[in-house]
Amino acid sequence: MRKLTFLWILAFSMVTLGSFAQTKNSSGKIDITEGSKSFLTIGGDSIVGSLLAEIHDNTNMQIKRFVNNVWQKQIFGTANKGSLLRINGVNYSSSGGYYFAGTSMVLISHTIISPNHVQSIWETTDVVRLTQDVYYTTGTANVRYAWTVTNLSSSAINDIRFFHGQDNTLNGSDMGYSAWDALRNSIIAYTTSGTDQIRLYFQGITVPFGYQGGSYSMCRSNAIAGALANTATETNVDQGYALEWRTESITASGSYMINAIEKFSTVAVTNIQVTAPLSGVVNAGGNTELTYQLQNLTAIATEVTLNSEATPASWTAAVQGGTTITLAANEIKNIIVKVTAPGNAEGTTASVILNAVDASGTASDFCSVTAEAALGCTDLEGFSNVFTLNVNPPLMDKLDAPNTITPNGDGINDYWIIPNAAALADYDLTIFNNLGATIYESKGYNNDWDCKYNGNELKSGTYYYVFVNGSSVFKGFITVIREKN
């Protein structure tokens, strides 16, 4: 066994289940069932590789993937994936939830916001509110999550820890391996079937504090105890994984937001392994570049021929920098694939595959790429529905906003400076990254954004902004360039 190194909705429904209980199945494993609980579903198109997400009203989830004409569960049971919030040493969770321990949170709402978005809200009175948003774009292999922790008390709360994890099922089996991908802030569960590798890939878009992969029971126990072990077990065990996020404090009425993405896929692995980005976006009629990782899993150099393909055929994908390379023993190389979307592709998604062929066969992986409106903020893998933009004649005549910042600490162009920012006092500003995750919010704008999120420098790249005041909307992009001396 080769180890990894590193419709509208078809249907959305609400289902009520029986009484809550924990029982052991024939393998002696705890199977959690829940009672007087309901779940909503998004996804469900019977397309190979598509997903069906069941979002329960007690933080639990089940994800199913359409494989071999059946819906194959990716989580062990209907209540073996969930979240846990910990504040100053006290656990907060929903009764019947996968991580239920400590103080119970009360369900406030559980709602279909749009065809690809379910929102759930839980609270503990005068202490904390947890808002969970789950997004799925039809035809993709990714589910996106956004969690917002809001302080409901009159003073600051401290030592906030948030956990999300699960008991995995890989190709119908509980058993599998795990690995930590530090480059992508991702915990991975995987197993092999012939030359196919079945992967579950959980990435913290918000950089996680901790991670754990391996025994599902140890992952769960450590989360409940308040800290993950930062280990990934590359041995064949009853597989689970989790991520942990922390922030030191949240002020009264303040919030802390966490974003993550999870990919469920089957890829071909030979002596070569290909790892694709988890997702991508591109402007309709434009292009973008995706970075794939190529690795030689052997101690012998090999010649590799590369080719890429996009589906549907109206999209194009081209390997950059040559299609024939030599990989030294155990070498890892990054491969750039340029993806172009047709002008009428807005709101659609393409699967972009990179194939790597050597004497041992063909290895491959794919990335789901969604086309958005040029300079817009729609259809970012589900995050579009965080807000709806109806563009009418603005209250301001013009927004004179620069679209390039060079935050290198030289005192020149280190902040996003808008000359007429004073006229924006009544506008709400949101800045988000190319995955749709919010990285900055304010009422009005004081020319103080320094290209950081939670105190950490954002990478060079393109970010998007929107100012909203009723029907008046300004939107555009900002390119961040971090110059190296």
Q: What per-residue confidence (pLDDT) applies to 47?
A: 87
CATH 2.60.40.10 placement within the chain = 270-372
Taking only the tens place, the pLDDT of each residue in 268-289 is 889 999 999 888 888 888 888 8
pLDDT at residue 317, rounded to an integer: 96
Confidence of residue 480 (pLDDT cuts 50, 70, 90): confident
pLDDT band of 92, cuts 50, 70, 90: very high
Residue 59 CA to residue 74 CA, distance in Å, equals 17
CA distances from 139 to 312, 367, 445 (A): 12, 12, 38
* Average of per-residue pLDDT values in the chain: 83
Q: Report which of 27, 38, 177 is spatially closest to residue 112, judged by C-alpha positions.
A: 38
Of 473, 288, 458, 483, nearest to 367 by C-alpha is 288
Q: What is the pLDDT of residue 48?
A: 87
> What pLDDT was estimated at residue 435?
63
Among 24-33, 299-308, 367-376, 404-413, top mean pLDDT goes to 299-308
- CATH number among 3.30.365.10, 2.60.120.340, 3.40.50.300, 2.70.98.40, domain 14-267: 2.70.98.40
**383 — pLDDT class (breaks 50, 70, 90):** very low
Q: What is the pLDDT of residue 182?
A: 82
Higher pLDDT, residue 201 or 101: 201
Q: Diameter of the chain by CA atoms?
A: 69
pLDDT at 37 over 70: no
Classified by CATH at the fold level, domain 389-480 comes out as Immunoglobulin-like (2.60.40)
- For residue 252, which amino acid is it? A
pLDDT-above-90 percentage for the chain? 49
Judged against a pLDDT cut of 90, whether residue 213 lies above it is answered with yes
Say what the pLDDT of residue 218 is: 96
Q: What is the pLDDT of residue 105?
A: 93
The tens digit of pLDDT for each residue in 100-151 reads 888 899 999 999 998 889 999 999 988 999 999 999 988 889 999 999 999 9
142 — phi, psi (to 5°)? -120, 140
Q: Residue 151 corresponds to which tokens in the numbers above?
A: 């302080």
Higher pLDDT, 63 or 138: 63
pLDDT higher than 50, residue 22: no
The strand pairing partners of 454, in sequence order, are none
- Give the model's pLDDT for residue 373: 63
Q: Each residue of 450-468: pLDDT tens digit?
A: 888 878 888 887 788 888 8
3-state secondary structure the chain: CCCCCCCCCCCCCEEECCCCEEEECCCCCEEEECCCCEEEEEECCCCCCCEEEEEECCCCEEEEEEECCEEEECECCCCCEEEEEEECCEEEEECCCCCCCCEEEEEEEEEEEECCEEEEEEEECCCEEEEEEEEECCCCCEEEEEEEEEECCCCCEEEEEEEEEEEECECCECEEEEEEEHHHCEEEEEEEECCEEEEEEEEECCCCCEEEEEEHHHHHHHHHHCCCCCEECCCCEEEEEEEEEEEEEECCCCEEEEEEEEEEEEEECCCEEEECCCEEEEECCCEEEEEEEEEECCCCCEEEEEEEEEECCCCEEEECCCCEEEECCCCEEEEEEEEECCCCCCCCEEEEEEEEEECCEEEEEEEEEEEECCCCCCCCCCHHHHCCCCCCCCCCCCCCCCCEECCCCCCCCCCCCCCCHHHHCCCEEEEECCCCCEEEEEECCCCCCCCEECCEECCCEEEEEEEEECCEEEEEEEEECCCCC
Residue 31 pLDDT: 35
| The two structure tokens encoding residue 218 | 């140890």
Which residues on adjacent β-strands are paired with residue 365?
A: 354
**Tens of pLDDT, residues 162-184:** 999 999 999 999 999 999 988 77
Rounded to an integer, the average pLDDT of 214-234 is 95
Q: Please give the Cα distance from 483 to 157 (Å, whole number).
A: 38
pLDDT value at position 380? 37
Q: Are 93 and 100 in contact (CB under 8 A)?
A: yes
Lookup: tokens for 204 = 């913290």
Taking only the tens place, the pLDDT of each residue in 240-275 is 999 999 999 999 989 998 989 999 999 888 999 999
| Arithmetic mean of pLDDT, 425-444 | 82
Range with the poorest average pLDDT among 69-83, 302-316, 433-447: 433-447
For residue range 142-154, list pLDDT tens digits in order: 999 999 999 999 9
CATH superfamily of 270-372: Immunoglobulins (2.60.40.10)
Residue type, 330: N
* 14, pLDDT greater than 50: no
pLDDT band, very low/low/confident/very high, at 36 (cuts 50, 70, 90): very low
Q: According to the model, what pLDDT value does residue 86 have?
A: 96
Which is more confidently placed, 7 or 162? 162
**Contact assessment for residue 136 and residue 205, using Cβ atoms and an 8 Å cutoff:** no
- When pLDDT is cut at 50, 70 and 90, the band that residue 393 belongs to is very low
